Chains A and B, each alone.
Chain A
């Protein structure tokens, strides 16, 4: 069954802690994306990667970090430098060659206590 998985579905973190969100895809997609969703603001791009071992900052990269060591995986670390990390985080992927549709995972809700 092809698709994008994100884990965990819910994540709680204490202030000052780093936390890593997992995103895995078995669609053989080249490009992967991380978005942050807040009520009334749509989706905002945090980081994206078009090939392994390469990634670029999106519109709101401050306080976040990523890695892309494998084509299938694109983990996102929310660092203690992120001022307001409580949000819904969505991972997406597609083929590198445009145009192509982005497909989304089910999301991770992060709450900072």
Chain B
């Protein structure tokens, strides 16, 4: 079945440590790819997106993501996490045959310990 998987429900990292959040999808053609962040009780904010071209994408707040076609993955990374990064992160996939509709992963809650 077509899906978007974020295998980690919760991740805890120490402030200053590196971070990688995983996202895998199971759609045939390369879809449009997004990472969003959500603070409690708020809407979603776009961190970065991939439509085509360079597979390493830079986003806001020091985040980056790499698209790997062979692994059907779009993992989010940050070299040094700040306490303010604590939030929930969603990977979203836009299959090209869907137009601009998105399918979301279940989310990963990031906790940052000092």
Contacts and interface: CB of A to CB of B under 8 A. Distances in A.
Contacts, number: 62
Interface string B1-40: 0001000010000000000000000000000101010000
A90 interface: yes
A43 B43 contact: no
Contact of B101 (A48, A101, A103): A48
Contacts of B112: none
User: Considering the complex of A and B, which 10 residue pairs feature the smallest CB-CB distances, nearest first?
Assistant: A104-B43, A42-B104, A104-B44, A43-B104, A42-B106, A106-B43, A99-B32, A98-B100, A99-B51, A98-B99
A45 interface: yes
Contacts of A33: 101
Given A41-B106, A42-B106, A103-B46, A95 B41 contact: no
A49 to B, nearest CB: 12
A50 B94 CA distance: 15
A33 B100 CA distance: 10
A7 to B, nearest CB: 13
Given A40-B9, A43-B90, A90-B44, A102 B107 contact: no
